[in-house]
Structure 1
Amino acid sequence: MDLHARLKTYLQNNPEAVGKVVDYNAGTDRLFPLDLTAANTELTTAIIADTQAFSNWVSDKLRANNCRYGIGGYMEHRTIYAVSSHFDTEDEPRRLHLGIDIWSDAGTPVYAPLAGKVHSFQDNNNQGDYGPAIILQHDLNGLALYSLYGHLSRQSLDGLSVGMSVHKNQQIATLGNNQENGQWPPHLHFQLMFDMEGNYGDYPGVCKYSEKEKYRKNIPDPGLLLGF
């Protein structure tokens, strides 16, 4: 059985082990699918390049559609990354988004959906980067799984230590504002990995399109845990 199948089997057989990533009531809270591909012609380069204008655009979309969160992004080919040299490489730019984004207000609480421990954390303080990020390590009946939380508040890193135990539904962070989160509209980048591949406090959240299948093997769909 491959790792993806093992994860699905574990989650199906142990639904009580899975908690929340953000506060969400399926009966009352609405989600707005945010398309950040070239198909979204409303989201212009000028808006994307202006952090506050981009933040206002997201907030206006959520408010106009009466939605608590914006959601989307797993394996989405995004043109928006052209605004930052952080995603450029010599041969092919990184444009394929590997996690799921949850867009909401700065200060929104973030929780651990699974019991585990702190693997690593750091402030990836570059334009377009994660800003403060936390990575948790989980043992699911022998299956190693890592969860990454990016674009957090700097305060979220206070008091953390590697190896610190974390329980299901424990608040681990809050969303950062656009001055501390890599200069993005406030949101959570939530991503799962089977193997950290030697990374610490960071793991690629965007890859070259040509590397899609390579990364797909290591990065399961975070929607399996979100339950949206």
Structure 2
Amino acid sequence: MKILIVEDNESVCSMLEMFFQKEQYEGTFIHDGLKALEAFDRDEWDLVILDWMLPGMDGVSICRKIREKSSVPIIMLTAKDSESDQVLGLEMGADDYVTKPFSPLTLMARIKAVTRRYQTKEEPVEKVVETQFFKLNQDTREVWLNGEKVTHVTPKEFELLQEFITHPKKVFTRDQLLERVWGYQYYGDERTVDVHVKRLRKKIALSNRPFIHTVWGVGYKFDESVVEDA
């Protein structure tokens, strides 16, 4: 797996490099934000790890620019542990975040969890899920709404939409979505689900069909049949 790591702390880079070698990850370390964008455009990556505070360009800005052209999984590394900062990182398109100081073993677990569902599988038949309005290709991870391709769907957004579409009208709690989509216990941080649902809604909602509905006090459900007043 090819990982682009954008981190200006050399001791953190040295520590990560040791663990990456153990896991047989191919890591490329960049210490400057602007140079990181150049490196991203030059090659194909399976995962990007972004520090928040960087020379040249901050990690949140890099995340936003990457999301304009790619759905590659992104993990943010940040010493900013306030709720608003964490939500900002997720809203810019990050799939996960790890606060500093952190254990390398924790980061390795997050990397595996984020990428577990996105590994390309060589299968002879494409898996396609179709509904009245949507078409999802599980192999190419593409989404169409009313016959038009939905662009810039991140890996986690795809998994979230797939979970909803394959269980229409089922009410999911936030904890259930964390377990089913993220694949591990996310320390009870339900804001992650809310942020991803908010982003996904913006990408797929029609003028009178939100598709993903909030069930107050419980969680969310997917229902194509509900039409709202225009």
TM-score in terms of structure 1 length: 0.27
Higher strand share: 1
TM-score in terms of structure 2 length: 0.27
Q: Name which one, 1 or 2, has greater alpha-carbon Rg.
A: 2
